[in-house]
């Protein structure tokens, strides 16, 4: 395994996004199987594991806590706060909640679910318009001083929000969607992160599975799969967006790799401080993804992708409208 640095935090070049283990892409998978997969990932060199209180809610953190307890000192656990979730029942209001007192109560509950005395990387999951980001950063700064949190992160935050937060408590990592399927961060976000020395953790680095080449306009998703509600995954959009997949497939076929490996290899080649977190529930997909870590893409291959992608306009919004309103990108 190769390693990268997010701010001052060392992580495996590829992490493991654990959200899908508790649903989202259809029914969740049996917990013992996912405990085994998480430990298999660590056996293969993965040290960076990403979760959130909202995944479940709570179930994903509990899963990660069980899986990583025997190897806690060898891994980086990243989790998130920020939604208005009842700490006793898990009931959601549908809104955000980053009041400092709530953040601190959430962290206490997270420490118990994760079976640990500290969280390595704590993100605000979504910006709360009702709470100044300076207050949020101050609350996390207090938790860092208490030893309960190691590093501060922001997810789907806008440029000015990141600057304001950083002025109160240095930000170690920003997490947002980024892939060949969604390149929005390139315009303003990546230059800011480079300026401030902040690491970048792309989620959905395979375009929610689309860049693997296993999905086309005829694919039927499980009824509770969130992609059923994403404009980019409508049948018409998928048909149009296959042009991008064909570019990845063409290079993969020439290099005896897979489309997923090319998509991840392209992402890793963008900046040395980018550490994607592809998710999976299958061991063979985990192994496939990890194969991208040692993939050295040539400048000619990267240039080919840039040239071809420049002529393709991805169809459909990346998230439903209601969710987009909660992001800063």
Q: Can 3 be counted among the known catalytic residues?
A: no
**Tokens standing for residue 24:** 């989202």
Contact 63, 35 (CB under 8 A): yes
Catalytic residue among 55, 123, 166, 178: 55
Q: What are phi and psi of 290, to 5 degrees?
A: -65, -20
Q: CB within 8 A of 32, min separation 6: which ones?
A: none
Q: Say how many CA atoms lie within 13 Å of 305 toward its Cβ.
A: 22
**SS3 track for 44-92:** CCCCEEECCCCCCCCHHHHHHHHHHHHHHHHCEEEEEECEEECCCCCCE
**Tokens standing for residue 251:** 């290079």
**Tokens standing for residue 157:** 């935050």
Q: Say how many CA atoms lie within 13 Å of 113 toward its Cβ.
A: 26
- The end-to-end CA distance of the chain, in Å, is 31
Catalytic positions, written as ranges: 55
């Amino acid at each position: 395994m190769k390693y990268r640095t997010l701010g001052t935090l060392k992580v495996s070049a590829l992490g493991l996004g654990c959200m899908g283990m508790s649903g989202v892409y259809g029914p969740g998978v049996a917990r013992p199987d996912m405990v085994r997969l998480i430990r298999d990932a660590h056996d293969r060199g993965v040290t960076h594991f990403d979760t959130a209180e909202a995944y479940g809610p709570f179930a994903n953190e509990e899963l990660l806590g069980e899986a990583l307890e025997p190897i806690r000192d060898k891994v980086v656990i990243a989790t998130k706060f920020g939604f208005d979730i009842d700490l006793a029942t898990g009931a959601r209001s549908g809104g955000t909640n980053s009041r400092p007192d709530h953040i601190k109560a959430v962290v206490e509950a997270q420490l118990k679910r994760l079976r640990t005395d500290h969280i390595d990387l704590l993100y605000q999951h979504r910006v709360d318009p009702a709470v100044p980001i300076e207050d949020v950063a101050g609350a996390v700064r207090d938790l860092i001083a208490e030893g309960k949190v190691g590093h501060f992160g922001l997810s789907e935050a806008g440029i000015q929000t990141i600057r304001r937060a950083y002025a109160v408590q240095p930000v170690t990592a920003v997490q947002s969607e980024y892939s060949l399927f969604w390149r929005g961060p390139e315009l303003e976000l990546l230059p800011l992160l480079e300026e401030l020395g902040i690491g970048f953790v792309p989620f959905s680095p395979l375009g929610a599975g689309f860049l693997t080449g296993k999905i086309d306009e005829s694919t039927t998703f499980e009824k509770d799969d969130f992609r059923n509600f994403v404009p980019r995954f409508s049948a018409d959009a998928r048909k149009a967006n296959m042009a991008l997949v064909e570019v990845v497939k063409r290079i993969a076929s020439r290099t005896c790799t897979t489309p997923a490996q090319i998509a991840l290899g392209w992402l890793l080649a963008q900046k040395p401080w980018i550490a994607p977190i592809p998710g999976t529930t299958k061991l063979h997909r985990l192994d496939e993804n990890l194969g991208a870590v040692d993939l050295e893409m040539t400048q000619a291959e990267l240039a080919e992708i840039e040239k071809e992608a420049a002529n393709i306009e991805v169809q459909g919004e990346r998230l439903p409208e209601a969710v987009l309103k909660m992001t800063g990108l």
